[in-house]
Amino acid sequence: FTVRRLPNGESVGTGALTDNPPKQFDGFSVSLNGNALAAGDTFKVTPTRNGASGISVVLTDPKDIAAAAPLTATAG
């Protein structure tokens, strides 16, 4: 199989269904089960599509937020 980056179609790497351990591309691994796979099959992997779905608000009072600005100093 070939793993390609969208939208430019650049090849990230290649592998075989029998690779053990599974191949790794751009920080994730690909492990495919050979059942019902056929030449020409394509899969689109979108690992960050719902990445923020589990984020929720914990603080309700803005005074509870600890924030700072960069400090600058002048010699002399």
CA atoms of 60 and 3, how far apart (whole Å): 44
**Cα-Cα-Cα-Cα dihedral of 14, 20, 22, 25, to 10°?**
-40
Reported as a pLDDT band with limits 50, 70 and 90, residue 61 is very high
Q: What is the pTM of this model?
A: 0.51
Amino acid 36: pLDDT: 73
Amino acid 37: pLDDT: 76
CA atoms of 31 and 36, how far apart (whole Å): 14
pLDDT tens digits, residue range 17-52?
777 877 888 787 877 766 777 788 888 888 777 888
Q: What mean pLDDT, rounded, does the chain reach?
A: 83
